[in-house]
């Protein structure tokens, strides 16, 4: 029996643009995608195109000068290993372990350490842990559901009527596209940890640091106790997916994707959200597409292909190859893989925290595509969350996106129930259909059965803790993330 505890507290992050009590996630280094920059205009249409005013400091201004993760000394690694083992072992067991470590440190370890240093020198574009990080996730054969994919839940829109499912989905799509175009055009403020915000989180700092060469910019920020963060994982936030393969999955990004995938009752729909000239499609068109999808009377399929994404990775890889062998399915999969993101429209309300956790952590397994970089899930009552696949990165890019989208949808909504009454656009959404054979149908049935068995064995317990939050923990020179992990254990 598995247990999940949800611990809620007060506090806010100290990174630029990150002010949320959602969670604490750690960054990791991955290869950077260079984005094409366009000229900026201050016109109202340009303001509507981006999620925030043009940053004075280009998005990836600090990327080339980020300090590399150092490899610890061999003796320090061995010592830390023994320190970690000591509380867990009896004195006799610890002494045996210590002798084994000392032998290892003298014999095999020096050669392995030298090999690691040489490998690190050959891969100066990333860190020495990046390869093992990817291998850890992509070689894992367990289902990504429950085992790896987390979620972040949005607060309700403070304007109650804007929590209407179609209205909220329209606003979130619009804000998500603003975020994407801000990122693509390098107008997104860089992620910076400000140790002394009064001196560095200022226009004065931005005006100066933008003229410091990229190769030196990180060190210029460091002088005023500002610490730019690695933003390389943003390259896989949109138009990206995990593709199942036997033994080891792969990650794929499609830079030309202009459409989103919408799922409802296990059915698939696509429509463009970005025009051919790089602008966001009209709000009325987005709204009408969603309205068309929700009003579509197509029943849930008897064999929902999406259930396969919840399977053991090798099983899903075999089924995907079987799908691709049938004419027409490969094109459908390409449209799913290359979508900017997935929007899952659920047809039920959520009330309790247990309902929230079950809906956004796994759902029914039929109305999710668990391989996509992230899924935006919106329930019938407007409750919403981001559910993301973990292999491409951790929570830094997702949390920034999450907070910016919530802020944008609530401070300048593109749509309200009142304005929607005047929309007169034609729906352009089209339904996608897979062709199946008996082998694939059996695979889907097996996936549904295994999914239901797994989630029915999950118990969810809740603890709401209001005594203090992460700001208090930080004031005591402790790690909020460490306290959270200890509480869970």
Catalogue the active-site residues.
390
User: Residue 168: is it exposed, middle or buried by C-beta count within 10 angstroms (0-12/13-18/19+)?
Assistant: buried
List, in order, residues 6 or more apart from 411 with CB less than 8 Å away.
none
DSSP assignments along 327-387, one per residue: TTHHHHHHHHHHSS-EEEE-SS---SHHHHHHHHHTTTSSS--TTBSEEEEE-TTS-EEEE
CA dihedral 151, 194, 42, 405 (to 10 degrees): 10
What is the gyration radius of the CA atoms in the chain, in angstroms? Answer: 24
Rounded to 5 degrees, what are φ and ψ at 404? -65, -40
According to DSSP, the β-strands at 430-432 and 192-194 are: unpaired
- CA distances for 153 relative to 43, 171, 363, 484, angstroms: 34, 16, 14, 18
In contact, 27 and 413? CB cutoff 8 Å: no
Query: Smallest Cα–Cα separation from 435: which of 293, 339, 334, 332?
Result: 332
CB atoms within 10 A of CB 467: 7
Length in residues, the chain: 489
First-to-last CA distance in the chain? 15
Query: How is 162-220 classified by DSSP, letter by letter?
Result: GGSHHHHHHHHHHHHHHHHHHHHTT-SPPPEEESSHHHHSSHHHHHHHTTS-TTTHHHH
Contact 224, 205 (CB under 8 A): yes
By the 8 A CB rule, do 2 and 463 touch? Answer: no
């Amino acid at each position: 029996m598995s247990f999940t505890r949800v611990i809620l507290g007060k506090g806010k992050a100290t990174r630029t643009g990150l002010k949320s009590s959602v969670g604490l996630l750690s960054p990791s280094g991955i290869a950077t995608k260079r984005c094409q920059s366009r000229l900026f205009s201050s016109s109202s249409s340009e303001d509507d195109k981006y999620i925030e005013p043009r940053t004075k400091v280009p998005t990836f201004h600090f990327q080339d000068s980020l300090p590399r993760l150092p490899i610890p000394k061999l003796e320090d690694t061995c010592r830390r290993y023994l320190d970690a083992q000591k509380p867990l072992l009896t004195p006799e067991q610890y002494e045996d372990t210590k002798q084994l470590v000392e032998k290892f440190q003298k014999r095999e370890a020096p050669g392995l350490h030298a090999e690691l240093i040489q490998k690190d020198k050959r891969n100066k574009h990333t860190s020495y842990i990046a390869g093992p990080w990817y291998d850890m996730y992509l070689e894992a054969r367990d289902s990504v559901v429950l085992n790896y994919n987390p979620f972040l839940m949005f607060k309700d829109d403070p304007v109650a009527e804007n929590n209407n499912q179609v209205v909220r989905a329209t606003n979130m799509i619009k804000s998500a596209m603003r975020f994407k175009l801000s990122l693509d055009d390098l107008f997104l403020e860089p992620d910076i940890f400000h140790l002394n915000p009064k001196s560095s989180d200022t226009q004065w700092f931005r005006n100066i640091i933008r003229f410091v060469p990229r190769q030196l910019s990180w060190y210029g920020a460091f002088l005023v106790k500002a610490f730019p963060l690695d933003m390389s994982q943003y390259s896989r936030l949109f138009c990206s997916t995990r593709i199942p393969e036997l033994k080891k999955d792969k990650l794929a990004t499609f830079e030309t994707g202009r459409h989103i995938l919408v799922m409802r009752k296990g059915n698939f729909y696509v429509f463009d959200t970005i025009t051919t000239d790089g602008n966001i499609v009209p709000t009325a068109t987005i709204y009408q597409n969603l309205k068309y999808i929700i009003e579509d009377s197509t029943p849930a399929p008897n064999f929902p292909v999406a259930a396969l994404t919840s399977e053991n990775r090798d099983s899903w890889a075999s089924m995907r190859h079987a799908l691709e062998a049938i004419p027409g399915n490969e094109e459908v999969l390409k449209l799913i893989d290359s979508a900017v993101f997935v929007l899952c429209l659920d047809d039920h309300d959520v009330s309790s925290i247990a309902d929230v956790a079950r809906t956004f952590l796994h759902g029914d397994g039929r109305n999710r595509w668990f391989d996509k970089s992230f899924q935006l899930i919106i329930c019938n009552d407007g409750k919403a969350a981001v559910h993301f696949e973990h292999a491409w990165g951790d929570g830094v890019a997702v949390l920034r996106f999450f907070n910016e989208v919530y802020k944008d949808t609530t401070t300048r909504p593109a749509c309200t129930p009142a304005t929607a009454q005047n929309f007169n656009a034609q729906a352009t959404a089209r339904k996608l259909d897979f062709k199946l054979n008996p082998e694939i149908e059996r695979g889907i049935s097996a996936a549904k059965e295994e999914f239901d068995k797994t989630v029915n064995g999950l118990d969810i317990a809740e603890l709401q803790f209001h005594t203090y939050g992460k700001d208090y923990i930080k004031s005591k020179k402790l790690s909020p993330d460490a306290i959270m992990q200890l509480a869970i254990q």
